[in-house]
């Protein structure tokens, strides 16, 4: 049994010479995972335990027992490999609610859960279907993300994740519901906690992200490529042990809000926690709850805490030592990971307490050493300072489009390294899992000490979901539709065609929105200022200038969305960022410093101002001699933006029709010549099937 | 002087052999008109009179004195023949407010009117500008509506209209402000009223409307072509004289609401009228106010009343005689007009008291006779039962787009025939003028007697100004944009390509909106029912079926609109109308009678239903064996139409994306096969520059 586990708890290679062998290997991996998962539930000795909400923020175990089977069917249906539902009621009930809820977002719905035997029967039905699919499915090597085999692997790796999460929930069940199980034997070794020390590491530039060419299954968030320069730091030799953490508990750390982040304080108020979740205090003596047993607190085992507790410990230590003590960032942890050459599935023997290769529990923190540092992988997951974010180049897997993207919200922190029960993909080098910061897994931490107070963690590049802002990101940086060229680009091209002598100098992009025209102008001008009234829009200009990336979600149909990314490098705009400054500002009340421009471009601005005349009457003062003012607009006057008495045109004046071009001519002709006008079409996507298709008029005015 | 007046009060021929002569003729016509207009104002002996609001529903005379000159400048600027304003203040003040206000819509704005001499000076400036333009303007013959000469004629004919309306206002001024004037001498003949009798006329089919090829200037509403069959009727030999109308006054007709329409009663309540507007009662004796004199009521002159009074008189007569006495319709009057062969400008001598050829007042009603009927033209205008409406083929003149269209509202009745002061275009056969029914001009009436109680007047085809409905009329029947084919037509073409065996039988167009797909389906099916939930939309389907025409106004820019007409004949759809029935109905609660269809087409319906599932689950019952259900939709689900829990797709179900096609398949597959699907694009115009461009999905379902 041990041998089998070792082999089949390793994820598959996607390549191979023999399709038949690969098919057998997949089948084996599938059944082993199904069996292993069920063997965990075999520890439960009373069906009542399936229905207890051991962790109030999560569903009871019956949900997880059914869920991993339902997942197979749902993905196969979505992929059109399965056409009929097996059991519509169970497939609805067991589908959603996996991610833990927040304590301030409790779901108190009552569920009419099915019986264990019904669920077990359902699991068998699914097992047969997947087995048959493995036999029948077309298979070519290597397996790629659009292969049916990829979907089977997705189901398997998904179940392996829940092997771990279910084991955590079982640690919260009253122990009398659980029996010992030969497959799930804990470590029994324990001793005094070793004294932790710091090891100095050199800084290094490293690359994060799993290559597309990698030989194993990966979740979408693992792919992409990000280069990070890591400054030198010192790292704790051991994971923080129960013994080391006990000092914090004894120092009344849980009662002193100064060590806790604001979020940590809120969680303390909710949870009334006074010590780690799996500790028990009985008559002044501490114990630890493992999966299937309770033992006196093993002082040399890693402490298991959430991020908030780990962070509080670090803050306490930092204050005590007057040093910059904190958790590692994702990159710092990855630098550490480079101390191990091997990776699952290729290692012979796991380089730590991981992959179920040693124990069904933690073990002492001083057992697995690499180059003077212990437990780089395994034992318990290690919280990092980094909220999870996608790497540049990230693409959602179309059949599981909400695996990662909902966690790119700044509220889910990454942990790394895996625990004793992390198997399959979870135990690979590139695995990236992230949970809410208050969440418990078999997770602890290792601290580091840095020279700098600054935590090298970037703000998460969250998905812009404001529909209008997302529309404009797509409009400026996204796909073209109906073969209408990119509008800001076309506008800049058109205006330059009318102003041949304008080659360098200073340009102002007024009403720049999310900023594309500023970048296009920067190809030709020495300096561009981009100004927009709305911080909601211009923040993306800022972000693109700073990070070259931004993300957004646009509707496809109904409530469904598509996640997209802007990448300045792909657009060939990266080098231009330094020529641009973005500012929030009001075109009708512009600061005096915005002056001395050779060109002022106002794209779709004039019919969105609250007082266009106020804007136009002095704009000539901001131009250099013979400078240009270029306006484009579809003249869509709306009283919600511009009071009707301020409309420049589209009105009757003294009973006669006055167009906006008439109105502009009247206002501007004192200082400007109209040198050209032309139509420039644009398309704004509202849904996958619905677009605004508009023809703006560009007018080019030169100072007299 | 008399000779000159006769000649130049006739409108110009648009054709000719000599451009130089035509230029001279235009110049002569212009100056004569300007002179004649000023000579009317020369009758005023006290400048104070220019500022009196003699008619509270209209501006004082100073406005009209300036207005006709301003009109020239405004139209020349609009036509780009004049670039600078002459006097911006006057041109703003004298521009609008021509149409009389309603008594329930009084404009009490205070105006800071200019002096008479300033206005006179301004008139001289305009005279010089127009004179120079006549010299310089390019001129080719014939003159067409896009010639600059047409604009000059427009200004001239406009001034001639105001020659008449200003003379009416002057009849309301206290007499002591006015001096006699040799050019404006009234008739002095008067006698007892002749006894009126009826003359029988045969019915006839006649054609209304001025041909495009006609040789004289016309206002836009005169053109077009309408064929009307007029039933036989009897017509009064004379206009109703003061003597004849006096019987109504003496019979207390003004005190008896039963003779008055509801609108008439409201006007009576406002005006407190007890007799015609230009009568005076002094010590039990009646007098009549003419332009420049007061005389004992001339009993044999035509009475001058508004439509409401004329109609009350007819109702009174009808009751007395127990016959169908009423005013003529426009067509009935036009039939009468055929008794005169000649027309201005070609007549040698006017066939009535018109064109200023005889008097500067009315004259006895028994003076000008044609084939036993008197005053077919001239003396006073003759009110008709017909609210003014455009003829089929009507096109707005782009430089005076609100001359006619605002009067197509059912509240402006036509009068015909002209008065003693109707000159130029006003005195031509095709002239059509319409005013609010309470309005006074030099206007009276002639009654007719009909065999039928029905008044042969069609409801006015008012311009649909509901923006959404107008959008859909343009969408179904209007222009194409971005080269995207007409959508209802493309849908029918596409669905027939997927259903080759469907050639005849019965079709249902569910959610037919303004009905185009119903017409397109009727090319192929024996019968089509068109059903829509909204009466606002389907009324246009009804109207097109009944009259083959409908009209709408769509926005161009801001508040400016473009007036358009749907003409089934031009679309080749007229013959199909009889195969179609339109009904108001609810797709989710359809009457049982709507069944037994070979095809049910639902264009852009499914995502606008309040309960699409309710609609879909039984729709198979309404089809014949192997019948087809065809759905097209862009799947733009919006909770304002469909509560989110009723969306068929565009939602997450059990955590997985479900498209609308998935949802449709699930609902329909019990009874239907999906036989085809394809994309069909469409474009809906919002403004001249802004469009919705959408790609609908068509799915074709055949009954199993």
Interface test with chain A among B78, B401, B402, B558, by most A beta carbons within 10 Å: B558
Q: Is residue B290 part of a domain?
A: no
Domain boundary among A450, A479, A511: A450
A366 and A470 both lie in a single domain: no
> What per-residue confidence (pLDDT) applies to B58?
82
Do A560 and B650 make contact, defined as CB atoms within 8 angstroms?
Answer: yes
Q: Is residue B525 predicted with pLDDT exceeding 50?
A: yes
> Would you state the structure tokens that stand for residue B416, as one six-digit string?
């015909």
Q: How would you write B364-403 as a 3-class SS string? A: CCCCCEECCEECCCCCCEEEEEEECCCCCCCCCCCCCCCC
Residues in chain A within 8 Å Cβ distance of B556: 650
Q: For chain A, first and last CA: distance in Å? A: 89
In the structure, what pLDDT confidence band is assigned to residue A59 with cuts at 50, 70 and 90?
A: confident
Do B482 and A693 make contact, defined as CB atoms within 8 angstroms?
Answer: yes
**Cα Rg, chain A, nearest whole Å:** 30
User: By three-state DSSP, how is residue B286 classified?
Assistant: strand
In the structure, what pLDDT confidence band is assigned to residue B104 with cuts at 50, 70 and 90?
A: very low
Do A687 and B636 make contact, defined as CB atoms within 8 angstroms?
Answer: yes
> Strand runs (DSSP E) across B479-548, as ranges?
506-510, 527-532
Within the 82-101 window of chain B, which residues sit less than 8 Å (CB to CB) from chain A? 91-92, 95-96
Q: Is B74 an interface residue toward A (CB < 8 Å)?
A: yes
A420 and A479 both lie in a single domain: no
> Which residues, in sequence order, are CB contacts of B559 under 8 Å at separation 6+?
A644, A650, A651, A652
Name the minimum distance, in Å, from the CA of A402 to any CA of chain B: 9
Closest residue in B to A697 (Cα–Cα): B689
Q: Which residue has the tokens 């200019």?
A: B114
Q: Is residue B223 part of a domain?
A: no
Interface test with chain B among A158, A398, A400, A558, by most B beta carbons within 10 Å: A558
Name the minimum distance, in Å, from the CA of A70 to any CA of chain B: 10
> What per-residue confidence (pLDDT) applies to A97?
63
**CATH number of the structural domain spanning residue A408:** 3.90.1580.10
> Would you state the structure tokens that stand for residue B407, as one six-digit string?
């009067």
Over the stretch B8-27, which tens digit does the pLDDT of each residue have? 689 999 999 999 999 999 99
Do B558 and A647 make contact, defined as CB atoms within 8 angstroms?
Answer: yes
B496 and B439 both lie in a single domain: no
Closest residue in A to B561 (Cα–Cα): A650
Residues in chain A within 8 Å Cβ distance of B92: 654
Residue A76 structural domain: 2-182
Within the 19-58 window of chain A, which residues sit less than 8 Å (CB to CB) from chain B? none
Q: Order of strands, edge to edge, in the sheet holding A285-289?
A: A279-282, A285-289, A294-296
Closest CA to A363 of A186, A498, A231: A186
Mean pLDDT of the A395-407 span: 85
Over the stretch B340-370, which tens digit does the pLDDT of each residue have? 999 999 999 999 999 999 999 999 999 999 9
Q: Is residue B606 predicted with pLDDT exceeding 80?
A: yes
Residues in chain A within 8 Å Cβ distance of B657: 78, 401, 560
B503 and B637 both lie in a single domain: yes
Mean pLDDT of the A552-569 span: 91
Closest CA to A201 of A361, A73, A92, A329: A329
Q: Chains A and B: how many Cβ contacts under 8 Å?
A: 125
Mean pLDDT of the A645-671 span: 92
Q: Is residue B307 part of a domain?
A: yes
A408 and A556 both lie in a single domain: no
Residues pairing with B552 in the sheet: B464, B564
Do B690 and A634 make contact, defined as CB atoms within 8 angstroms?
Answer: yes
Residues in chain A within 8 Å Cβ distance of B655: 74, 95-96, 402
Q: Over chain A, what is the mean pLDDT?
A: 92
Interface test with chain B among A556, A693, A694, A699, by most B beta carbons within 10 Å: A693
Q: How far apart are CA B385 and CA A55, in angstroms?
A: 83
Residues in chain B within 8 Å Cβ distance of A694: 689-691
Closest CA to A420 of A328, A302, A313: A302
Q: Is residue A85 part of a domain?
A: yes
Residues in chain B within 8 Å Cβ distance of A74: 654-656
B443 and B470 both lie in a single domain: no
Name the minimum distance, in Å, from the CA of B112 to any CA of chain A: 16
Q: How far apart are CA B678 and CA A580, in angstroms?
A: 45
Q: Which among B653, B655, B693 is the nearest to A482, CB-wise?
A: B693
Over the stretch B53-98, which tens digit does the pLDDT of each residue have? 888 778 899 999 999 999 999 999 989 899 889 998 899 888 876 5
Q: Is residue B364 part of a domain?
A: yes
> What per-residue confidence (pLDDT) applies to B599?
97
Interface test with chain A among B693, B695, B698, B699, by most A beta carbons within 10 Å: B693
**CATH number of the structural domain spanning residue A640:** 3.40.50.150
Q: How would you write B228-250 as a 3-class SS string? A: EEECCEEEECCCCEHHHHHHHHH
Residues in chain B within 8 Å Cβ distance of A96: 654-655
> What per-residue confidence (pLDDT) applies to B98?
54
pTM: 0.73
CB B129 within 8 A of CB B82: yes
CB B354 within 8 A of CB B418: yes
Q: Is A282 an interface residue toward B (CB < 8 Å)?
A: no
Over the stretch B166-224, which tens digit does the pLDDT of each residue have? 999 999 999 999 999 999 999 999 999 999 999 999 999 999 999 999 999 999 999 99
Name the minimum distance, in Å, from the CA of A291 to any CA of chain B: 30
Name the minimum distance, in Å, from the CA of A542 to any CA of chain B: 30
- Strand bridging mode B226-230 / B204-208: antiparallel
Q: Is A155 an interface residue toward B (CB < 8 Å)?
A: no
Q: Is residue A460 predicted with pLDDT exceeding 80?
A: no
Do A401 and B657 make contact, defined as CB atoms within 8 angstroms?
Answer: yes
Residues in chain A within 8 Å Cβ distance of B636: 686-687, 689-690
Q: How far apart are CA A558 and CA B663, in angstroms?
A: 12
Over the stretch B378-420, which tens digit does the pLDDT of each residue have? 999 999 999 999 898 888 888 888 888 888 888 899 999 999 9
> Would you state the structure tokens that stand for residue B195, as one six-digit string?
């006894």
Name the minimum distance, in Å, from the CA of B198 to any CA of chain A: 45
> What per-residue confidence (pLDDT) applies to B8?
66
Q: How many C-beta atoms surround the C-beta of residue B18 within 10 A?
A: 10
Least confident residue range of A397-406, B26-35, B615-624, B638-647 = A397-406
Q: Is B459 an interface residue toward A (CB < 8 Å)?
A: no
> What per-residue confidence (pLDDT) applies to A106?
44
Q: Order of strands, edge to edge, in the sheet holding A463-464?
A: A463-464, A549-557, A560-567
Q: Is A173 an interface residue toward B (CB < 8 Å)?
A: no
Q: Is residue B206 part of a domain?
A: no
> Which residues, in sequence order, are CB contacts of A138 under 8 Å at separation 6+?
A148
Name the minimum distance, in Å, from the CA of B558 to any CA of chain A: 4
Q: Which among A559, A654, A687 is the nearest to B95, CB-wise?
A: A654
Q: Is A647 an interface residue toward B (CB < 8 Å)?
A: yes
A439 and A564 both lie in a single domain: no
Do A559 and B649 make contact, defined as CB atoms within 8 angstroms?
Answer: no
Residues in chain B within 8 Å Cβ distance of A635: 557-558, 687, 689
Do B77 and A656 make contact, defined as CB atoms within 8 angstroms?
Answer: yes
Within the 498-557 window of chain A, which residues sit less than 8 Å (CB to CB) from chain B? 556-557
Q: Is residue B211 part of a domain?
A: no
A13 and A80 both lie in a single domain: yes
A107 and A151 both lie in a single domain: yes
> Would you state the structure tokens that stand for residue B515, as one six-digit string?
């009905």
In the structure, what pLDDT confidence band is assigned to residue B460 with cuts at 50, 70 and 90?
A: confident
User: By three-state DSSP, how is residue A107 classified?
Assistant: coil
Q: Is residue B350 part of a domain?
A: yes
How many domains does one find in chain B? 3
A237 and A149 both lie in a single domain: no
Closest CA to B377 of B407, B411, B412, B347: B347
> Which residues, in sequence order, are CB contacts of A556 under 8 Å at separation 6+?
A562, A687, A688, B650
Question: Which contacts (CB < 8 Å, 24+ apart) does range B103-110 have?
Answer: B103/B57, B103/B267, B103/B270, B103/B271, B103/B438, B104/B266, B104/B270, B106/B56, B106/B57
**CATH number of the structural domain spanning residue B71:** 1.20.120.450
> Would you state the structure tokens that stand for residue A496, as one six-digit string?
């330059």
Residues in chain A within 8 Å Cβ distance of B695: 689-690
Q: Is A649 an interface residue toward B (CB < 8 Å)?
A: yes
User: Quick one: what percent of chain A has pLDDT higher than 90?
Assistant: 80
Domain boundary among A450, A476, A506: A450
Residues in chain B within 8 Å Cβ distance of A560: 650-652, 657, 659
In the structure, what pLDDT confidence band is assigned to residue A104 with cuts at 50, 70 and 90?
A: very low
Over the stretch A149-168, which tens digit does the pLDDT of each residue have? 999 999 999 999 999 999 99
Closest residue in B to A638 (Cα–Cα): B558
B550 and B666 both lie in a single domain: yes
Residues in chain B within 8 Å Cβ distance of A557: 635, 637, 649-650, 659-660
Q: Is A694 an interface residue toward B (CB < 8 Å)?
A: yes
CB B289 within 8 A of CB B176: no
Q: Over chain B, what is the mean pLDDT?
A: 92
Over the stretch B661-680, which tens digit does the pLDDT of each residue have? 999 999 999 999 999 999 99
A43 and A105 both lie in a single domain: yes
Do B557 and A96 make contact, defined as CB atoms within 8 angstroms?
Answer: no
Closest CA to A630 of A511, A538, A485: A511
Residues in chain B within 8 Å Cβ distance of A401: 657
User: By three-state DSSP, how is residue B693 classified?
Assistant: strand
Q: Is residue A310 predicted with pLDDT exceeding 90?
A: yes
> What per-residue confidence (pLDDT) applies to A404?
87
> What per-residue confidence (pLDDT) applies to A3?
47
The DSSP call for residue A499 is -
Domain boundary among A450, A482, A504: A450
CA A7 to chain centre: 31
């Amino acid at each position: 049994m041990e041998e089998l586990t070792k082999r089949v708890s390793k994820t598959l290679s996607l390549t191979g010479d023999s399709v038949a062998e690969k098919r057998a290997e997949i089948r084996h991996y599938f059944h082993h995972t199904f069996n292993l998962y069920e063997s965990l539930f075999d520890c439960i000795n009373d069906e009542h335990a399936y229905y207890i909400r051991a962790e109030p923020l999560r569903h009871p175990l019956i949900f997880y027992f059914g869920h991993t089977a339902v997942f197979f069917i749902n993905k196969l249906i979505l992929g059109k490999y399965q056409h009929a539902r097996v059991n519509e009621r169970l497939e609805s009930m067991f589908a959603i609610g996996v991610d833990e809820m927040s304590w301030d977002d409790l779901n108190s719905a009552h569920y009419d859960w099915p019986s264990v035997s019904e669920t077990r029967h359902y699991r068998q039905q699914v097992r047969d279907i997947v087995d048959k699919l493995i036999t029948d499915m077309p298979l070519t090597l290597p397996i790629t993300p659009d292969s049916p085999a990829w979907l089977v692997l997705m189901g398997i790796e998904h179940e392996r994740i829940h092997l771990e999460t279910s084991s955590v929930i079982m640690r919260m069940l009253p122990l009398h519901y659980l029996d010992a199980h030969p497959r799930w034997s804990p470590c029994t070794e324990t001793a005094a906690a070793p004294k932790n020390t710091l090891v100095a590491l050199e800084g290094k530039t490293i690359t994060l992200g799993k290559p597309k060419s990698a030989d194993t299954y990966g979740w979408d968030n693992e792919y992409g490529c990000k280069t990070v320069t890591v400054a030198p730091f010192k790292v704790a030799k051991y994971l923080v042990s129960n013994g080391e953490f006990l000092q914090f508990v004894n120092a009344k750390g849980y009662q002193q809000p100064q060590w806790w982040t604001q979020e940590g304080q809120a969680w303390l108020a909710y949870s009334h926690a006074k010590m780690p979740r799996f500790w028990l205090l009985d008559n002044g003596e501490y114990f630890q709850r493992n999966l299937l047993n309770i033992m006196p607190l093993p002082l040399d085992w890693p402490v298991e805490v959430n991020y908030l507790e780990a962070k509080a410990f670090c803050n306490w230590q930092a204050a005590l030592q007057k040093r910059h003590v904190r958790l590692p960032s994702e990159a710092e942890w990855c630098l550490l990971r480079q101390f191990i050459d091997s990776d699952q599935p290729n290692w012979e023997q796991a380089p730590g307490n991981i992959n179920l290769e040693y124990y069904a529990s933690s073990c002492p923190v001083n057992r697995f050493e690499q180059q003077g540092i212990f437990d780089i992988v395994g034992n318990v997951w290690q919280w990092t300072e980094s909220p999870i974010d996608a790497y540049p180049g990230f693409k959602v897997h179309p059949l599981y489009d909400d695996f990662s993207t909902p966690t790119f919200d700044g509220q889910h922190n990454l942990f790394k390294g895996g625990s004793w029960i992390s198997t399959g993909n979870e135990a690979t080098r590139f695995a990236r899992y992230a949970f809410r910061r208050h969440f418990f897994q078999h997770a602890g931490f290792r601290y580091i000490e840095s020279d700098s107070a600054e935590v090298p963690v970037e703000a998460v590049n969250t998905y812009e979901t404001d529909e209008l802002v997302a529309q404009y990101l797509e409009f400026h940086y996204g796909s073209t539709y109906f073969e209408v060229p990119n509008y800001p680009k076309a506008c800049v091209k058109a205006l330059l065609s009318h102003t041949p002598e304008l080659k360098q100098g200073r340009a102002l992009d007024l009403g720049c929105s999310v900023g594309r025209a500023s970048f296009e102008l920067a190809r030709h001008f020495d300096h561009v200022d981009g100004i927009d009234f709305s911080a909601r829009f211009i923040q993306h200009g800022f972000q693109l200038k700073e990070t070259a990336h931004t993300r957004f979600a646009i509707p496809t149909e109904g409530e469904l969305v598509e996640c997209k990314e802007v990448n300045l490098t792909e657009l060939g705009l990266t080098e231009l960022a330094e020529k641009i400054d973005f500012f929030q500002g009001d075109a009708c009340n512009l600061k005096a410093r915005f002056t001395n421009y050779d060109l002022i471009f106002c794209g779709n601005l004039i019919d969105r101002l609250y007082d266009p005349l106020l804007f136009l009457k002095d704009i000539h003062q901001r131009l250099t001699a013979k400078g240009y003012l270029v306006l484009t607009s579809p003249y869509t006057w709306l009283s919600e933006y511009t009071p009707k008495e301020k409309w420049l045109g589209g009105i009757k004046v003294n009973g006669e029709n006055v167009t906006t071009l008439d109105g502009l001519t009247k206002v501007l002709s004192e200082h400007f010549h109209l040198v050209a006008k032309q139509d420039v079409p644009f398309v704004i996507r509202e849904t996958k099937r619905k677009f605004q298709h508009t023809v703006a008029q560009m007018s080019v005015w030169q100072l007299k």
